[in-house]
Structure 1
Amino acid sequence: MRKLRIRTFTMLCLFFLLTLPWIFFVTAHFMDTQSFSISTSQQQNDTLQRHLTEMIHMIEVGTDKWTYTGWQNELHTELSKAKMDVEIESASNSEIYRSSPKRHSRFSSTEQFSVIKDGELLGRVVLYLPKSNGVPMIAAFFGLLLSFFVVGVEMRRFLLKPLEKMSKAARQIAAGHWEVQLPKSRITEIAEVRDGFEVMVKGLEQSHRKQVELEEERRFVTAAVAHDLRTPLFALRGYLDGLEQGIAQSPEKVTRYIAVCKEKSAQLDRLVEDLFTFTKMEYLESELNTRTLDLTQILRRSIESVSPQAEQKHISILNQLTDGCFINGDSYVLERAMNNILENAVRYTPSGGAITVRCCKDGKKIRFTIRDTGPGFSFEELERVFEPLYRGETSRSRATGGSGLGLTISQRMMKQHGGELMVSNHPDGGAVLTGCLPLTDPN
């Protein structure tokens, strides 16, 4: 469907307004005179006036010849030359002479006068003048009215109705109805507004859906955090009440109660720290203190930080790191990400298991892998492991003491550095976390 610019549409409407009355005028003039010649010059007006004066003089002078055939023929000849007709009636309204048998329209131009001689009314005369532009002007007026009507209908069809429909659509969108039918138009500017309006509607719909998703996520996070805080707090309060009430009477029991309280407080500390880090990354903009780093050194420090927990569970950590894996990043943020990954591996690796840490250059990237000998991930866990506060219902449950935010935080930290973090299962069993970061020239 070809489209028109508003200025083109306006010019077409103006041309139509000017042309249609003129067409009506010319058509009516031709039907009235059988000629397309349209002239109203001063010379013709003077000629008409001269012929009119001659006809009146001839009729008034020849009053005693009105009934004579010869005089009537002479009058008819002169009337034909002047393109006029005449009707002569006596004083008693009886017809004396009519130059043309046909009746003239009541809209015809006439000149009427009475002939009086010596105070006596001799008759009445009606001179029918040459046809004027009266009828064509009336036709032109109706043509103008028709052109205004047609232009008004087309303007409503092409301009007003699409705008009215878009206004109605805007009110529907404001009421939350996104599935609205936007009108089409053959006017380019209105079509462009419609396209922009459609893009805006899609953007608003996506924003609304995102807001709904964020609201649902916020409610989920709030409920999950409340549950995670309540569980260790409930246990901590129970053991503290036991100590206060003297339930733990033996030194061994007191020592066990205190150890449980310390464990629960450490669990609360980890949860609050993870929540703070997640909130800071999710909702607050933070700048990275970037510089050239050797990822191998960061991994070594992270291994040292989790070694005590690994030793308690008799887990061996195999170091297969290659020096010179330089990247550009924030040392603190990257070490925190590696700590989360290694702590997660230690947490889910059974006693006597092993964790293998590798790091090497891979083209223009630095690739590292951390593999444990735990139960690995289920299919659902592989799909959702990076969701905030998600934990599997079996091996990766709250009983292990995790917050469900460690891997989420690590993944977002990796993305902050232009890298990525992926999870998979090793063919021989256990979980594998693989990360990639852009390689940097140390010089």
Structure 2
Amino acid sequence: MTRKESVFWGRYADLVNKHGLSGYAAEWTVHRAQQFVYGLEGRKLRNVDATYLDQYLNVLGRNDSLQDWQMIQAINALKILLVDVVSLDWAVTYDWDARLSACRDLEPTHPTLAREAPLMRDVHRQEACALTPAAEAQLERIKEVVRTRAMSIRTEQTYVEWARRFVDYCGGTFPEGPAKVRDFLEYLALVRKVAPSTQSQALNALVFLYGQVLKVELGDLGEYRRPARKRRLPVVLSPGEVQLLLAAMSGRNKLMASLLYGAGMRLMECIRLRVQNIDFDNGYILVVDGKGGKDRRVPLPVKLVPELKAHLTAMKAQHDADLTAGFGEVFLPESLARKYPNASKEWIWQYVFPAARLSTDPRSGRRRRHHVSEKNLQKVVKSSAVKAGIPKRVTCHTLRHSFATHLLARGSDIRTVQELLGHADVSTTMIYTHVLNRSGVSGQSPLDTL
């Protein structure tokens, strides 16, 4: 290494330390940056552009030996290099957050993947007691019955978790009769202080367990303590607060949050969007397999069309590069993959918001590209609300609440809003009329009339 290079990397190491990194983390951050610089093959560092960086990171994302945290480490190393050291203008505005947020692997229990993995004993946390072999078999039987009845993966996970908690409470085995079930429900209310909906969820899970798996009728459980049910109104942002929130975000995360508000989609509906679900010509988004397994159409915000098209152009280039490298497959449900064996490589089936890294398919072991993890957008929305100074508890679902409330405020009828939200019962949608003070009582304070 020449003296000039030693000075350059010494300066880079100092900046790494200023970012709070030390020890092996700092050493590997420097190493990641050096890998990038010494792989430029004659190109000067100052001549690197966003296209080259995208290509480099895409190749890195196809490296099956690189874990998600190592990918994050590499991106942070390049951000320090190109923004703080070389000070490239385009690097300052580059969407680093989107690159970082797309690195997280989907855990095996994620709803997108869990149903596709073969039935096997869960690797779960240390329990309070050891389960009997019969109890373990019954827990697995819950999955089989749920899947036979075509119930959702969320329901499957919830029922298995409540059954596991119940068998822990009972000492490792499932007792006969309703006595222990009643005791467990009271324990949840009096000791665990759970919400009424949580206790009802546990009851539904245990009724399913006994009736459909153990083939034991619980009968009348009798009287047991229930938590007091409280009526909660949804948190809704004003149009001005929505503008402040979105202004505090940037890049891909802002695009996704804008879709949540502009189309009223649920978080996972946005995360799982595929290319063919967006109809630019007719101005709508097709939500496939939403809550309850239902499809519906929602409006495509006109303001987002140019940005969405530019985003899809970039993702198409990434997909083409994957195909050239021998990859390019996307995750498809098993039934769909059997019916259309070549669909996994087609552009129309790709996720609109794909992960930055290829992941291993739990069934075949092949390297495929899943969608981004929803946890990153959840964190960004929460932190952006704090940054914007919004004194409310803001989540991704708050944007959906705001979508419905603002539509009603502009005169949309309740049935239209119900269809756009995908609610099975209009009474669920009616809650937004209470937010608007449309209960027949004037929203004006009597103090203002004095």
Q: TM-score, normalized by length of structure 2?
A: 0.20
Larger radius of gyration: 1
Q: TM-score, normalized by length of structure 1?
A: 0.20
Q: Which has the higher contact order (CA 8 A, sep 6+)?
A: 2
Hey, which of these two has a bigger chunk of strand by percent?
1
